[in-house]
Amino acid sequence: MINVLMMNTSDIFTQGLKILLEGEDDLEVLEVSDRESNFIEQISDFEPDILLVHLVHGVSDTLKKQINEIREKYKQIRVICIFVSYDKKLIKEALTLGVKGFLLSHSSGEGLIHSIRSVWQHQYVFADEIVTEMIDFLGTECMNKKEKLSRFFSSQNMDMNDRDIDILFLIYKGYKNLEIANELNLSEKTVRDYVSKVYKKLQINHRHKVKAYLTSIIHEKMKE
Q: What is the secondary structure of 37-88 as a DSSP string?
A: TTHHHHTTTT--SEEEEEESS---HHHHHHHHHHHHH-TT-EEEEEESS--H
Give the whole-angstrom CA distance, residue 6 versus residue 212.
44
Is there a contact between 74 and 144 (Cβ–Cβ < 8 Å)? no
Residue 222: per-residue pLDDT:
44
Q: How confident is the model at residue 209 (pLDDT cuts 50, 70, 90)?
A: very high
What are the domain boundaries of the chain? 2-126, 134-223
pLDDT at 7 over 60: yes
CA distances (Å), 220 to each of 26, 35, 152, 166, in order? 51, 41, 11, 19
Residue 224: per-residue pLDDT:
45
Q: What are 61-104's pLDDT values in tens digits? A: 777 888 888 888 888 889 898 888 777 777 777 877 888 998 98
Residue 223: per-residue pLDDT:
43
Q: What's the CATH number of domain 134-223, 3.40.50.2300, 3.40.47.10, 3.40.50.620, 3.40.190.10?
A: 3.40.50.2300
Please give the mean pLDDT across all residues of the chain: 83
pLDDT at 127 over 50: yes
pLDDT above 70 covers a percentage of the chain that reads 87
Q: What are 146-175's pLDDT values in tens digits? A: 888 888 998 888 889 999 999 999 999 899
CA distances (Å), 121 to each of 4, 43, 50, 76, 98, in order? 14, 22, 11, 11, 15
CATH architecture of 2-126: 3-Layer(aba) Sandwich (3.40)
Residue 11: per-residue pLDDT:
61
- Mean pLDDT calculated for residue range 126-130: 84
pLDDT at 18 over 50: yes
Q: How confident is the model at residue 131 (pLDDT cuts 50, 70, 90)?
A: confident
Whether pTM > 0.75 for this model: the answer is no
Residue 195: per-residue pLDDT:
95
Question: Do β-strands 99-104 and 50-55 pair in parallel, antiparallel, or remain unpaired?
Answer: unpaired
